[in-house]
Amino acid sequence: MGPRAEFILLAALSATAVAVAGYLVASGFVFEQSLGEALRNGVQWSPTGTLAALAAAWLASAWQQRAAGAGHPWGPAGMAARATALTLLLYPLAVAFWVMLTGLVDRSVASGGMPLRELAAWVPSIVLGATLAALLIGSLPAFAIAFVLCRRYLRRRGGSTMDIA
């Protein structure tokens, strides 16, 4: 597996872990759910973080390749900051997509799912709540993990990370 594919895959997997852990933390503070229920709900919401991180890692790695080709190498902290910012910018879109997709599936599979028109009225509130939770709970862990992944990616690409071993 090439460095870019590995970076994108690991970013998506780590985003899934951060999303589940973030939901567990949020459920402990806000929802007061049992651990099993919070874990189940965290896994149900984790595709939002996975989708956002997948797209952000793909965009950040392409952006890094263009910058390196132009003679402007990135360090791991700069690349991690860009990747984390892209993920946080794409997260509201991923939440909106996930809510509408699950609503559509629920409507077609379940006998009494919520009508999509009624669900669409709730999407802005859901997106706002999920995005605020991602900003408050997930930003620092996501940046820390992205730093490690970006450092590995840059080393595998053969670029200097400007760090000691």
First CA to last CA distance, the chain = 23
**Which pLDDT score is estimated for 160?**
52
Has residue 27 got a pLDDT over 50?
yes
Has residue 49 got a pLDDT over 70?
yes
> Could you report the per-residue pLDDT of 58-113, keeping only the tens digit for each?
999 999 989 988 988 889 999 999 999 999 999 999 999 999 998 888 888 877 77
Compute CA 125 distance to the chain's CA centroid, rounded to the nearest angstrom.
19
Q: Which amino acid is at 69?
A: G
Whether the CB-CB separation of 54 and 77 falls below 8 Å is answered with no
* Separation CA 32–CA 24 (nearest Å): 10
For 43-82, give the DSSP string: HHHHHHHHHHHHHHHHHHHHHHHHHHHTT-PPPHHHHHHH
Domain ranges of the chain: 3-157
pLDDT grade, residue 115 (50/70/90)? Answer: confident
**Which pLDDT score is estimated for 112?**
72
* Separation CA 23–CA 55 (nearest Å): 21
Higher pLDDT, 54 or 26: 54
In degrees rounded to 5, what are phi and psi of residue 71? 85, 20
> Could you report the per-residue pLDDT of 134-163, keeping only the tens digit for each?
888 889 999 999 999 999 999 988 855 555
**Which pLDDT score is estimated for 162?**
56
Residue listed under structure tokens 């970013």: 11
Has residue 114 got a pLDDT over 90?
no
Find, among 42, 6, 37, the residue nearest to 138 by Cα: 42
Has residue 56 got a pLDDT over 90?
yes
* Separation CA 16–CA 44 (nearest Å): 10
- Alpha-carbon Rg for the chain, nearest whole angstrom, is 18
